[in-house]
Amino acid sequence: MTTRTVRTVAIMGAAALLLGAFASGPAVAKKKKKKKKAPVAACAPFAPGEKGAGQPVTVVTDAATAEAPVEVTVATDPGLGFSSEAGEGAPEDGEGLTSHAYTNVQIDSAAPSAGLYVRVEFEPVWDYDLWLRDSGHSALAYAAGSSPAPVPGVTDGTGNGGHTESGSENIDGYFAADCNGFTVDIANAGGPGGDVVVKYWLGEPAG
């Protein structure tokens, strides 16, 4: 076999190897292609009950944290008295001249459940109460201490799923399933009214 013949055979062999590599490349890539994840089902819109009807529904996702909460401004009327589990309009509440403002919140988490945190902020000299209610207006958690003077263990609003601070009422990690919705009841128990700021975020459930 001459040198020219050997060189020709070598070139043909190299070409065959290259063609084989190009032919097998797409097949290998096809094998490595990842399967598409099934789309996550979206939550059905929350339908509030009578008290929350017509009010905004704020959707809170995992992106909302204590450091970066979702914020909503809510207007309140003047009020003076106290609030109760029965809530506004119930014959047995007898709460005086307390006013109520309502807004709604819905959880949309990647997890099956999460802890919902709600914080309403206002001027420390005024007194508001914060109630988390279901669509039937039943109280699920609340903080109704004395904001101007939150004495630990006495008027700090603890023991019902929340706590009171000077200038805020707080719901602390209410356990909620994904897509659950709630009506937030802001009761003005002592003040001239005006805008308050409601903050929402998700975290570890309480307890």
More confident residue, 13 or 51: 51
Structural domain spans, the chain: 57-203
- Residue (of 104, 123, 203) closest to 167 by Cα position: 123
Who's near 31: CB < 8 A, 6+ residues apart? none
- Cβ neighbors of 123 (< 8 A, separation 6 or more) are 167, 191
Which residues does 174 contact at the CB level (< 8 Å), separation at least 6? 115, 116, 117, 118, 132, 140, 141, 161, 182, 205, 206
User: In which band, very low, low, confident or very high, does the pLDDT at 150 lie, cut at 50, 70 and 90?
Assistant: confident
- Compute the radius of gyration of the chain from its Cα atoms: 30
Q: Which of 32-36, 62-66, 155-159 is modeled with the greatest confidence? A: 62-66
Given a cut of 50, whether residue 9 has pLDDT beyond it is: no
pLDDT value of position 87? 85
Read off the pLDDT of residues 173-186 as tens digits, 9 standing for 90 and up.
999 999 999 999 99
- Tens of pLDDT along 90-127? 656 678 899 999 999 999 999 999 999 999 999 999 99
For domain 57-203, which architecture applies? Answer: Sandwich (2.60)
